[in-house]
């Protein structure tokens, strides 16, 4: 999910991986936020593995 940030929040866009608690990133453009969230997801999964936590399976996308 990518949403715009208000000027009070610094502007730009934030990207959230809703199935991974706390996994989010941001960027100046929606494309940059999307690229950054891929890195955040990778880091989230690596950290979960190191801590012995399960990585949730993706939910099916609504058609």
Query: Measured between alpha carbons, how far is 48 from 30 in angstroms, rounded to an integer?
Result: 26
* Residue 58 within any structural domain of the chain: no
- What's the pTM value of the predicted model, to 2 decimals? 0.82
pLDDT in tens, 44-54: 999 999 999 99
pLDDT bracket for residue 63 (50, 70, 90): very low
- Angle subtended at Cα 19 by Cα 53 and Cα 41, rounded to the nearest 5 degrees: 70
* Residue 21 within any structural domain of the chain: yes
Give the residues across from 1 on adjacent strands: none
Domain count, the chain: 1
* Residue 45 within any structural domain of the chain: yes
How do beta strands 2-4 and 13-16 pair? antiparallel
Task: Determine the pLDDT at residue 61.
Answer: 56
* Residue 31 within any structural domain of the chain: yes
**DSSP state for residue 23 in the 8-state scheme:** -
* Residue 59 within any structural domain of the chain: no
* Residue 43 within any structural domain of the chain: yes
């Amino acid at each position: 999910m990518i949403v715009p940030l208000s000027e009070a929040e610094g502007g730009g866009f934030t990207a959230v991986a809703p199935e991974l608690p706390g996994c989010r990133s941001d960027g100046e453009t929606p494309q940059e936020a999307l690229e950054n969230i891929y890195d955040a997801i990778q880091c989230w999964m690596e950290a979960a593995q190191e801590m012995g936590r399960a990585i949730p399976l993706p939910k099916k996308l609504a058609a």
